[in-house]
Every structure is written in structure tokens, then in C-alpha cells.
Structure 1
Amino acid sequence: MHSTMSPYIAVNRGNSPPTEPADNHPVQIYTYSRHTGVVTTQPGAVVVNEAEDPPDYLGLAACSVCLCWMIGLLAVSYSFESKKYAMSGNYARASESGKSARITAVAAILIGLVITVTMVAWEFMKHSNCSPNC
């Protein structure tokens, strides 16, 4: 006795609605580290649904190192952690680490800008009050 019911369960991990096979062929799910593929048996079609990684803000973190290196390195560390979690498929932790990288990088940039503007203003004020022989 042959059943037309699929022995496999279709799983949708992306943002699109689940794909149902048009001709009731069994559906097989292949999950890799970053991608989920839905493959129907012959003569059906092959549908690949790629899950998008959460942002890791590595560029922002790298820029923050230039303005405040101590806090910027922490932001880069969070960014690499986010990338590591995304590669392993833990998208919730990857998103959390990405948000931490963004917040830390923005804080480093703001602190670095405040320190830079304060130092430039201090030097300007120091030289503007000086006599011509300074």
C-alpha cells in the first residue's frame, strides 16, 4: 500500500510563506549552516529559501576604533561574535550581539568626538589668549 502523504515535514525559516508542492510529491528539507533548501522530488521544482543573516555592524565598529580605540575594540568583538553566531545558525544571539556592537560602536564614536572637540577647543583657547611672544 502506497501513501500519497509526505513522510517529510516542510519547515519555513525565512520571511516568505511556506511553499506547498503542486503535485503532492514528498518534500525534503535540507538545512545547512546558513541556508534552508526545500527540494521536491521529480518532476517537481527546486526552491531554495536563503535566510538573511542579521547585521553585524563590522564597518561601524571598525570606524569607532579610530575615535575611541578601547570601546571600539569592544564593538569589534561584539561584531565578530555576531558573525560567529550567524554562521552557526543561532540568529537570535547573532541579532543580540549585532545590536550590542551597534550600541557600543555609536558610544565609542560619540565619546571620541566629544574628546576630540574638547581637545581642539582647549588648544584653540590656549593659543588665542597667548601674547605675541608665545
Structure 2
Amino acid sequence: MFGRILVNMCLATILLFTLGCGAFSSSESGMEPTKTVELEENFELSVKIEKEGLLGVEMPDPVKSGYKLTGASFDPKILGLVNYLEFDNDGQRWVQYMFKPVDDGTSDILFKMAPISGGDAEIYKRLTVNVGKDDTFF
């Protein structure tokens, strides 16, 4: 009797553990960008995205250059910030901003940085986002 209860408890624990791990590794979390832009070498770039998508913007953190990111400015009528993430990319710290289009139109996203030692903010990167249907023929 005791053996049967122990076996059932072990099986239930394994089943719950497996289901729990599956819930966290799912790509259905809704936070997967439909388009990702890397702003590594370019200072300025432009991108077009449909209103139903999510835009991921990845760039290296300028901390090695003596700067820190201070944020991003954009038109909240066109874009909304959904997520901000810092991660390691081959030993270098990177950041990812994720934006959700709110309405059709165009907005510049200005990513800003300031010296770690103190000082005025400067523009680190600029991204022009055009939100709307892709009406081009090609």
C-alpha cells in the first residue's frame, strides 16, 4: 500500500514538474517580436511595421564607452513601449526595447545616453518607424 502511494506521488511530481517547465519555455507568451532591428553599427535607420505586430529593437549598451542608457523618446500616439530587457551577447551587454504599434503613422525613436560621470543626455541611436499596411507592389 505504501509503495503504491509513493509511486503515484513520484509520478504526479514528475508530471507537474514537466508541465511547469513547459509553461515557462513556451513561445506563445505573446512577447515574441514580429520584426527585430539591430542598431549595432548604424546611428540612424528606418523600418516599416504593420499595426498588428511587435517591434524589437536591439543594440549594444554603451557602458564600455563610459555612457549609460537613459531611455527612449517616441510618439505615444504611434508606439507604446511593451518591454525593456538587458542581456549578454558574446560577453557584451545588449539591450532590447519592444514596441507595440498603437496607430498608423510615423514616429522617430530617439535612444538617449548620458556620461556615467554625469552630464547632459545625448542621442545614442535614432530609428524611424512607419506603422501601417505595406502597400508597395514589390
Structure 2 length as normaliser, TM-score?
0.20
Structure 1 length as normaliser, TM-score?
0.21
Please identify the structure whose Cα radius of gyration is greater: 1
More strand by share: 2
| Higher RCO (CA 8 Å, separation ≥ 6 residues) | 2
